[in-house]
Each structure stands twice: as C-alpha cells, then as structure tokens.
Structure 1
Amino acid sequence: MNIVKNLKLISVSTLLALGLIACEKPGPAESVGKKIDTVTDEAGEKMGETTEKIAAAVNDAEITAKVKAAIFAEPGLKTLQISVDTDKGVVTLSGSVDSEQNSDRAESLAGAVAGVKDIENRLVLKPAK
C-alpha cells in the first residue's frame, strides 16, 4: 500500500515538475507579448518626438509673433517691409529698410525677445527716393 502511495506521490511530483519546466519555455503568447512591448515602446518614442516637434513649432511661432510685434511697435520700423521667420529659435529678418540704423534696430529688437537663440539679419537697404 505504501508503495502505491509513494508511486502516486512520485508521479504527481514529476508531472508538477514537468509543468513548471514547460512554463519557462516561451510560447506563442510570450512571443506576441514581446512584440507588443516592442511596438508600444517604439510608438511611445515616436509620440515623444512628435510632441517635441509640435512644442518647437509652437515656440517658434510665438517667437515670430513677439518679434513682429516689437518691430511693429517701433515707430521708425512699423511702415517698413520686414519679414520675420523663426526656426528652432533662430530668427531670420528679411526684406528692406531705409537705413543701416533701422536694420540694426530691428536686429536688436529681435534679440531682446525671450527664446531667440540667434539672428540672421538679411535686411537690405532700399534706395532713397
């Protein structure tokens, strides 16, 4: 009788041990789970990059608006043809001014705006009439 009990106990123990060993081997569910994790991680990275690009574009638009407002508020500059463009904090001034002093003033106003990293002054002097 003890032998039968011992055999049953050994059989059950062996089955449990084999079941545990089988659980450690990756099956289809684990493989799919790893793929889902990889795709989720990649999507998260792309969303982060997109969010950064959107924030940079909004920041550039804000800088452009502030530089334009500063130039327009300046009595000697508001009637001149000055275009403002901002890319990654670098402000490009283009168009025409009637004096070197006004070109320098527009550049100075642009440089005073928060977030401006650099200024490319492409303003040209228009001929006096």
Structure 2
Amino acid sequence: MSLLHRGFFIVLLLSFALVLSGCQQEGTAEKAGEKVDQAAEKIGEQAEEAGEVVSEKAESAGEYMDDAAITAKIKMDILSDPLLKVSQISVTTTNGAVNLSGVVESQQSIDRAMEIVGSVKSVKSVKNDLVVKAD
C-alpha cells in the first residue's frame, strides 16, 4: 500500500472513530451527521492536497525524463555522425534548454552539431559554447 493510500486510510479510520464517539456523546443523529460531513470535507481537502503533490512530482519527473531523452538522442546522433566526435562535445539539457560545450575540429563541426540539436523534438533553446581547436 503506497504512502498516499496508507495516509488516506488512516485519516478515514480516524474520521469514523470521531463520528462514532460523537454519536455516543451527543446522542442525536443530527450531530453525528454534522461530524460525518466535517470528516468527509477534511478527507476531501487532504485528498486534493495529496493529488496536487503527486501531480507536481509526476510533472517534475516527466521534465527530467524529457531532458534525459533529449540529451541521449543528441549524443546518439553526434556519435553516429562521421564529422563529429562525441568525446569532444558535452551535451546537457535542463528544462528543454540544451547546452553544447567542448573543443571541435572545425566550424563545420559546430554547424553540424547545431543542425543535429535543431532536429530533435522538445528542444526549446540551444546555448552553443563549442569552440574550434587552435592549431
């Protein structure tokens, strides 16, 4: 049972215990009904908050996976390109923004690396810190 489900279950049990004790002390169905309504409202609020947290975490994880996939695709394409050497080019991606850095053989290598990055979906921007090796 996940932590979210376990917490929801515990809150639910405590709410019912509260309702039952309210029934015994107050002795009226109306008071018990009010307590059930209050408990249900609290459970609803807590479930909504938990759902928002889970949604935020999933979105964050999704962004991370997208960044990792972008980086992997670019590195794979660079590795398979005869003009480029993957060991010369560092690729990092943060929130869809790609950063290329390193020393390459020619301006043509820089241009080709930029073409590769431009062909990858989900890339939002590119920072090119590649430099041509001095002779």
TM-score, normalising length from structure 2?
A: 0.70
Mapped contact 1:80–1:97 kept (Cα < 8 A):
no
Structure-1 separation of matches of 2:127 and 2:121: 16
User: Which residue in 1 is equivalent to 2:39?
Assistant: 32
Q: How many residues align?
A: 108
Structure-1 separation of matches of 2:33 and 2:128: 62
Q: Does 1:82 align with 2:89?
A: yes
Q: Which runs of 4+ in 1 moved over 6 A?
A: none
Residue ranges of structure 2 left out of the alignment (5+ in a row): 1-27
Larger radius of gyration: 1
User: Which residue in 2 is equivalent to 1:118?
Assistant: 125
Q: Does 1:94 align with 2:101?
A: yes
CA shift in 2, pair 1:51/1:114, >3 Å: same
Structure-2 separation of matches of 1:37 and 1:100: 60
User: Which residue in 2 is equivalent to 1:8?
Assistant: none
Structure-2 separation of matches of 1:78 and 1:101: 13
Residue ranges of structure 1 left out of the alignment (5+ in a row): 1-18
Tell me how large the CA RMSD over aligned residues is: 2.1
**Cα deviation, residue 23, structure 1:** 2.8
Residue number among 62, 65, 69 corresponding to 1:58 in the alignment = 65
TM-score, normalising length from structure 1?
A: 0.73
CA shift in 2, pair 1:127/1:74, >3 Å: same
What SS does structure 2 have at the residue aligned with 1:38? helix
Q: Percent identity?
A: 41
More helix by share: 2
CA shift in 2, pair 1:90/1:37, >3 Å: same
User: Which residue in 2 is equivalent to 1:7?
Assistant: none
Residue number among 70, 77, 89 corresponding to 1:70 in the alignment = 77
Structure-1 separation of matches of 2:104 and 2:88: 7
AA partner of residue 117 (structure 2): A
